[in-house]
Structures are given as C-alpha cells and as structure tokens.
Amino acid sequence: MEKEFLGQAGSTELLSKRVEFSLFFDVINGNPNGDPDAGNMPRIDPETGNGIVTDVCLKRKVRNFIELTRGGEEGFNIYVTEGGVLNEQHRKAYQALRPGDADKKELKPKDNEEASRLTKWMCTNFYDIRTFGAVMTTKVNTGQVRGPVQFTFARSLDPIFSQEVTITRQAVTQEGTEKGREMGRKHVVPYGLYRMDGYISAYLADKTGFTNGDYETLLEALVNMFEHDRSATRGQMAVRKLFVFEHSSKLGNAPAHRLQSLVKANKTTDIVRSFDDYEFTVDRESLPEGVQLIERE
C-alpha cells in the first residue's frame, strides 16, 4: 500500500479546488480509540451501540505518519507532537522574526503586520497547522488559524460488541505479591468497519498556504496511517477504501452530503467478522457534472 509520496513531486501551487472524501477503515480484535471516562473501553454511542473514533485520534495518526516519513524536511515540522510544549513551538517564530526578544516569558505581536508574519511563519513551517489549523493565542502568541482540512468523528457502520478479555502477567509490579503473577483486562472489538468523512476548503487553503503537494501528502497519510501505528492494544487496523470527490472549482459543484451519500456499504450477514461481510455500492451515474470521483485502496 505504501508508495512514493506524490507530495514530493507535487505542485507548490495553492489548492484551487474543493474536495470531500470518505474513508473506511476496520479493526479486528483491537481497541481503535479508548474512552478514558469509561476505563479505556472502546468509544460507543450509548443510544445506537455504534463505535466511535474521534477526529483528534485520526489527526494524531496523520501527524505521526508525516513526522515519521517527512521529518526533517523543510515545511513538514509537526506542531502538536507527543509530549511537546506548544509555547516553545511558538517561540521559534519569534526567534526567526524577532530574535532579540525570543527569550522573554511572554510574547505578543507588536502590530497587525507582525502578527500576520508570525502566523504565516507558523503555517509555512508546520504541516499540521496549515492543514488542520491551530489556536496559538497563548502567552507566546502567534495568532489563530482555521485550517482547510476537517475530519468528522468516525462511526462504525453497525453496532459493535465490546469484549472484555482477562489476561495474566507472569511477573508482578512490586515485592510481596504472593502468587508471582498479576491479572489484567483488555477491551477489544472483535470486528468493526468505520467511516470517517472529511472536507477540504480551497478558500481556507489560500489563507494557510495549503498546496497541491500538501493535498497529495495528506491522501498518502490517510491511506497509510495505520501501517506504522501497530500495537497490541489496537489489534489489526487497516484502511480499506478512500473515496475522494474533487470539484472543478473553489466554490464546488454540489453539496458535500449529496456526494458522500453516493457511497454506501451494507452488511451481507447478520454477524460481521470481516471486511468481506460488506458490499460496497457507488452510484457513479448520479455524480454531478464538474465532480470527479477517485477511489483509492
């Protein structure tokens, strides 16, 4: 599934078309997104029983993939890193534009012109800021950016079953434990197919500097985001399908909900335990004029 990044050879021109996409991924015997308010059980909609994976969780996967594969390249730094300090990220902009004051505990722009330069520096140097946006109005203030790319929560197509599995460890945490082993629990979903919808605004891309190359890099990250994110907790997770709707204009040629409703997946058995238990249908005949549908797996 991994390929050479299209973004490496992609255009540096700003994205000039509106885009929507629908991403389908599944999990086998894993916990795709634990809920800390429920003992780290898989997130579930209590009314329907459908599984949930938050947009924040999925953005983390994209950030990790970009950091792993593009780390060190100019313009591909990651703003929200695991364990990072955001004020120190902001301070880098002041070090570049106002080095004499960069060591001050609190910093803010002197005027609107400098505020614009600071924000532009952050967008230029941090991929996830020019993609997802960021609120950077802290004690070291570099402004606020609304990103062109937005994700929805992912929801499973059908109710999921959260299974609790008891495990044992043949070692103990501290001295004095009698049996020489400890018990624990894992919460897993035997199988779940999830759908996440996304949106890209060309108008907001103008404001952050999001380019055609950035767009291609995002698609590569979406397709491959689980390939280097393996863990015993998450089980087997894989991106199964990515449907991309590209418009011929910045404004767009049809409502997003109308396009995304053209893609459907229905189960073919009462109890689903694999991707093959679903059947996908794509109504290409109803695709509006000026919209191109691209399917990636």
Chain centre distance of CA 188: 21
Q: Is residue 94 part of a domain?
A: no
262 contacts 283 by C-beta, under 8 angstroms: yes
Supply the angle between the helices 212-224 and 55-70 in degrees, to the nearest 10: 110
Look at residue 164 in the predicted model and tell me its pLDDT.
87
State the amino acid at position 50 in one-letter form.
Answer: N
Extract the residue ranges of the chain whose pLDDT is less than 70.
Answer: 1-10, 176-180
- pLDDT digit string, tens, across residues 177-232: 666 677 778 899 999 999 999 999 999 999 999 999 999 999 999 999 999 999 99
Q: Is residue 169 part of a domain?
A: no
Q: Is residue 268 part of a domain?
A: yes
What lies within 8 Å, CB to CB, of 244 at 6+ separation is 19, 20, 21, 219, 293, 294, 295, 296
Tell me the pTM.
Answer: 0.92
Domains in the chain, number: 1
Measured distance between the N- and C-terminal CA atoms of the chain, rounded to whole angstroms: 8
The secondary element (H helix, E strand) that includes residue 121 is helix 112-125
Taking the C-alpha atoms of residue 45 and residue 108, their distance in angstroms, rounded to an integer, is: 42
Q: Is residue 36 part of a domain?
A: yes
Antiparallel, parallel or unpaired: β 149-151 and 182-200? antiparallel
Taking the C-alpha atoms of residue 62 and residue 79, their distance in angstroms, rounded to an integer, is: 12
Identify the DSSP state of 160: -
Look at residue 90 in the predicted model and tell me its pLDDT.
98
Q: Is residue 90 part of a domain?
A: no
Domain extent at residue 240: 6-55+145-161+186-296
- Comparing CA positions, the residue from 31, 27, 42, 22 lying closest to residue 196 is 22
Look at residue 8 in the predicted model and tell me its pLDDT.
41
Q: Is residue 73 part of a domain?
A: no
Q: Is residue 79 part of a domain?
A: no
Supply the angle between the helices 112-125 and 86-97 in degrees, to the nearest 10: 120
Taking the C-alpha atoms of residue 129 and residue 126, their distance in angstroms, rounded to an integer, is: 5
